[in-house]
Structure 1
Amino acid sequence: MARLKKILAPVDGSAASLEAHRLTLDLAGAFGAEEILLYVVDSSVLAELSRLSGQERPRLLHDMQESGSKLLATLSGEAKKRGVAVRVEMHEGIPDEIIMQEAERHRVDLIVMGKMGRKGHRRSLLGSVTERVLEASDLPVLVVSP
């Protein structure tokens, strides 16, 4: 098996993404790899929430970033307790596009992500973001169920 140096773990707080993070910690610990935790504020969700709630976009963005920061702090703390090197990233945009950009930018060896995110649809076996990453990626992608 090829040596893993960097593993990208996109997280959104869903059960599947938290399980993907746990598996990433196991793999990173076994291979001495770095975990790159990524939280993406979905720009389409942000726009829809602003439209439906009447709240201003900057306020909603702040709230979503704050939620993401708390999640990243918790998960990076877990990594540090296990002795795993960790880097955190937060971006706003289209999740699958940001995931692919960050995978390329960090030159990761593996992407580990949840089967379905917080907006999981029962009509498909995979979440739409996961499905698009699988279609776009030339890298290995490990898909984790909760």
Structure 2
Amino acid sequence: GTIADRVTALLRARGFEAPLIDTGEMRLPGAARRRVVLPEAGLALRLAECAVATSAPGALRFGPGRHHLFDPRDGRSPGLWRSVSVIAPEAETADALSTAFAVSEPERIGDLVPQGVGVVATDSAGRVRHFGRTPALAEA
């Protein structure tokens, strides 16, 4: 996320008004809305001047019930979510929150999501949950 933000700042300083940056996290600067698909949630959003990061526990598995995202409190890999996508003003924020929320209970996400940040989480049963508020999620 940090790299996406820094590359965006560098390119803007060099005269590029709205470079689309994808380093695993997407940075969508400028006023032009771009289509971003969140496949697990079945959503296509039109986003501008923001960043999107998705953490998907199933992306890298080490065995049954073990994946690359783990709860630092106990070292276990919770199976709560298929994916957690965060829409935030900066990619660094979106990246950090998507990782943290991917191992968090729904109540905890609801309590911790900052103002101006939106979360789309698909649970292990395929149900889609929204937390927080952004204009993009209001349109979804």
TM over 0.5: no
More strand by share: 2
Higher RCO (CA 8 Å, separation ≥ 6 residues): 1
- What TM-score results when the alignment is normalised by the length of structure 1? 0.30
What TM-score do you get using the length of structure 2 for normalisation? 0.31
